[in-house]
Amino acid sequence: MYMNAEIEIPEMQSSALPDECIVSFEGKHFVFKQINSNNFEMRAAEVGRSGNGFTEIVNTNSLKNSKIVQKGAYTLLKAMKNKGEE
């Protein structure tokens, strides 16, 4: 037997990013900050609650005024880690 239910939770405002922006590596969460058109920096991200395709970012001070990669974050992670192994 199973049941479908919708649970309403109180609304709250917080800083969040689309789920595609956040990558997991070795048990931690990261985002990629764009330095210029071809350079990116991997930054640690403390994540909170998730819902509707977005995840709360707790450590927003370290990411303020930054351009965060929204598509292809896993591709960047693979490229960066493969490059480090060479």
pLDDT digits (tens, 9 = 90+) for 40-67: 999 999 999 888 888 988 887 878 888 9
| Distances from the Cα of 8 to the Cα of 11, 18, 51, 70, angstroms | 9, 21, 12, 28
Evaluate whether 52 touches 72 at the Cβ level (below 8 Å): no
Quick one: what percent of the chain has pLDDT higher than 70? 91
d(CA 46, CA 59): 6
The pLDDT of 25-45, averaged and rounded, is: 91
Closest CA to 69 of 49, 42, 50, 46: 42
pLDDT greater than 70 at residue 86: no
What size, in residues, is the chain? 86
Judge: domain 16-77, CATH 3.30.1120.130: no
